Amino acid sequence: MTFTAAATATVAHATTTVAAEHHGFLSPTGVEIAFLLVGLLTFGAAVVTVTTKQLVHAALWLVVALGGLAVEYLLLTAEFIAWVQVLIYVGSVVVLLLFGLMLTRAPIGRSPDADSGNRWAALTVAVASAGALVWVVVDAFRTTWVDLNGAAAGSTEVTGASLFQNWVLPFEALSVLLLAALVGAIVLSRKAKAAAAGTTTAPQVPGSRDGKRATEDKEGVR
């Protein structure tokens, strides 16, 4: 184990020094420029996501941030991760979030109380941790280059092979976890629906329809 780690470190060090010899600090490549531009877009969208006063706009800016991250994965030659990111995050997670905003009757326009009172404490913590993290990361990886030439490091073939050769057991455990999460979400929603139907007294048409559906569901369970 330690031998492997040592060999890994040696090889990494050798590659790093080799890479450092034909890279310059102030001569960015095209990929780096593209990464920087898309990264600026992503970071800006993320900042707007956490600062905008309009809740639906926050979800839509989150789409921009997550899509920008998918482009960053493509630039890092991790194609499969990029498309999974597009499918799951942009396709389903943001839609789920929008549904959540809709179901909790979030205001459509500007809501002045979107930020809580401890905004300045949060800003202090975030800026301090950003400064510390960026300083540490830049200091640690000053002389490290990623070699993006050659075959893609994360094509579907490579990722699938490694996933189903070396990571089968975690993969299967993850499917069980997803099933548990699905069942848990259904259980949480059903309990809330039954309780809401039990306490609903307003004779509104949607309310009565919900109550009817809830009783039908209960009978279905029995």
Partner 1 sequence: MHLAYPAVLAALLFCTGLYGVLARRNAILVLMSVELMLNAVNLNLVAFDVWLSRAARDTLHSGQALTLFTIAIAAAEIGIGLAIVLAVYRNGGTSDIDKLRDTAEGHGPDDPDSDAPAAEKAEATA
Site for partner 1 in 110-139 (CB under 8 A): 113-123, 125-127, 129-130, 133-134, 137-138
CB 36 within 8 A of CB 69: no
Q: Which is nearer to partner 1, 4 or 201 (CB)?
A: 4
Pull the structure tokens for residue 113: 């109380």
Contact flag: residue 167 with partner 1 (CB under 8 A): yes
CB 111 within 8 A of CB 56: no
CB of 205 to partner 1, least distance (A): 19
Binding-residue total with partner 1 (CB under 8 A): 102
Q: Which is nearer to partner 1, 108 or 188 (CB)?
A: 188
CB of 215 to partner 1, least distance (A): 17
List binders of partner 1 among 43-102 (CB under 8 A).
43, 46-47, 49-50, 55, 58-59, 62, 65-66, 69, 72-73, 75-78, 80-81, 84-85, 88-89, 92-93, 96-97, 99-101
Contact flag: residue 16 with partner 1 (CB under 8 A): yes
DSSP 8-state assignment for residue 189: H
Residue among 37, 110, 174, 209 that touches partner 1 (CB under 8 A)? 174
DSSP 8-state assignment for residue 22: T
CB 72 within 8 A of CB 56: no
Spatial separation of the C-alpha atoms in residues 33 and 22, rounded to whole Å: 18
Contact flag: residue 198 with partner 1 (CB under 8 A): no
CB 193 within 8 A of CB 217: yes
Q: Which residues contact 98 (CB under 8 A, 6 or more apart)?
A: 56, 59
Q: Which is nearer to partner 1, 138 or 221 (CB)?
A: 138
Spatial separation of the C-alpha atoms in residues 69 and 87, rounded to whole Å: 13
